[in-house]
Amino acid sequence: NEDLAELRVCLRRLDPPVCYSSYQAFVTLATNDNYAKGAMVLGRSLRNHHTTRKLVVLVGPQVSDPCQSVLKKLYDEVRLVDVLDSGDTAHLAMMKRPDLGVTFTKLHCWTLTHYSKCVFMDADTLVVSNIDELFEREELSAAPDPGWPDCFNSGVFVFCPSMATYDRLLQYSTEHGSFDGGDQGVLNGFFSSWSTADISKHLPFIYNLSSIAIYTYLPAFKQYGANAKVIHFLGQTKPWSHTFDPKTRQVRGEGAQDVAASHSSFLLDWWTLYSAEVVPMLQGHYGDQPFH
């Protein structure tokens, strides 16, 4: 027993006095230049709200060099993920389910095993307040989907990188596919106890405020919208589908009329950040060519 006590003391001394937060990261994904622009705004917004965690972006081979250069300035780590070229289980999975290409790329976030815990965020999200407290949550924590609240929305979720989980996820997606054709279907199938097992894994909606919810429940938006921490521009029309006139501060283009009616202020926030802090970085890489 004495030996055992001594062993315990030794083990405690071995425990390194590390700052665990340096092993935690926000992770996003961009497979093309449009989503890369979204990732730039997201990265900037996380920095502007003084996150203490690392920032990681997974990029596909189609993201151009100028965009990768800007991402390298904003993110601690820019990791190229080429599923077709990976030669691992992801490649095999992809041969069976070519429709799930982007999904397999997203699942790569589980391979970031040099971090103990991460928060994945879609490239079409915008952080409007510090959200570092999300690292107190466990895998898999996420907010309900506004369209089907028994499913979680996979635009923002807390996870723990692990090769074992990654392999199981790939196996699950090749066997079962995705009921919605994307990562949300796969992840809800895999983490199927989310809706009932543990309420602490239900993130408050303000961590993934989908713009769609504003249309569908305006009184709730009026009551709680001011507390929003993350805006998610979910759906077909993305902020970068519009155009912006910095002089008049007007957002124009596809669907801008509908958008203007309800969540124009968030769209304006996205464009203000993009034009003031991202465009100058891009112009540095494109010479005198205007980049919009």
- What does the binding site for ligand UDP look like in residue numbers (CB under 6 A)? 28-32, 35, 102, 106, 122-124, 155, 234-235
Cβ 5 to Mn ion shortest distance, Å: 53
Q: Choose between 38 and 189: whose C-beta lies nearer to Mn ion.
A: 38
Residue nearest to Mn ion (CB): 122
The sheet carrying 117-121 orders its strands as: 77-80, 54-59, 24-30, 117-121, 152-159, 141-144
**What sign for the dihedral angle of Cα 21, 22, 23, 28?**
positive
> CA–CA separation, 190 vs 289, rounded Å?
46
Q: What is the DSSP letter of 27?
A: E
Residue nearest to ligand UDP (CB): 122
* Residue 122 is a binding residue for Mn ion (CB under 5 A): yes
* Residue 183 is a binding residue for Mn ion (CB under 5 A): no
Q: What 3-state class would DSSP assign to 153?
A: strand
Residue 147 carries which side chain, given as an amino acid letter? G
Contacts of 162 (CB under 8 A, 6+ apart): 110, 113
* Residue 225 is a binding residue for Mn ion (CB under 5 A): no
* Of the residues 81, 120, 124, 144, which one makes contact with Mn ion according to CB under 5 A: 124
- In degrees and rounded to multiples of 5, residue 153 shows phi and psi of -85, 130
Contacts of 35 (CB under 8 A, 6+ apart): 29, 123, 124
Q: Choose between 31 and 51: whose C-beta lies nearer to ligand UDP.
A: 31
- Locate 278 and state its tokens: 């991202």
Query: Among Mn ion, ligand UDP, none, what binds residue 187 when CB lies within 5 to 8 Å by partner kind?
Result: none
Cβ 153 to ligand UDP shortest distance, Å: 8
Q: Choose between 71 and 234: whose C-beta lies nearer to Mn ion.
A: 234
Which one of 88-96, 116-124, 157-165, 180-188 is the stretch in contact with Mn ion (CB under 5 A)?
116-124
Cβ 184 to Mn ion shortest distance, Å: 9
Cβ 135 to ligand UDP shortest distance, Å: 20
Name 209's bridge partners.
231
Q: Choose between 102 and 281: whose C-beta lies nearer to ligand UDP.
A: 102
Nearest to 127 by CA among 269, 235, 288: 269
Cβ 32 to ligand UDP shortest distance, Å: 6
Q: What 3-state class would DSSP assign to 215?
A: helix
Residue ranges that bind Mn ion, judged by CB under 5 A: 122, 124, 155, 234
